Amino acid sequence: CEARGCTWCATDVANAPWCFFPKDSPYGYSLGGNAEKTAKGWRVTLNRRQAPSLFGNDISPVMLEVEFQTRDRLRFRVYDPNRERFEVPLKIDSPGVTAEEANYDVE
């Protein structure tokens, strides 16, 4: 774990990982600008950090959309803004509540 640059932290929290990348890790993605408010939530651009890829075929940038669908349901979508892909045409009714009305927090 530590040889890969991860942090080891044993915990009693159910299903929490003991080995994870710290916030300042060179792996993964970082915020590429400010969050953009949308009609139903937020949209942010994420840019791949410059460390070698752990899994290969990384995409940069990627978009993260967060939609407050109901008081108890959140939808998030991660996608490549530069290439279209097939998405299952699933009709989900969404009144689009505001973050203040939701029974959850998003950070």
pLDDT tens for 39-90 read 889 999 999 988 777 777 889 999 999 999 999 999 999 999 999 989 888 8
Q: Looking at residue 24, what is its pLDDT?
A: 81
Burial of 72-103, coded b for 16+ CB within 10 Å and e otherwise, reads: eebeeeeeeeeeeeeeeeeeeeeeebeeeebe
HEC-encoded secondary structure of 84-95? CCCCCCCCCCCC
* SS3 (DSSP) at 63: strand
Domain boundaries, given as residue ranges, for the chain = 27-79
* SS3 (DSSP) at 79: strand
Q: Looking at residue 64, what is its pLDDT?
A: 96
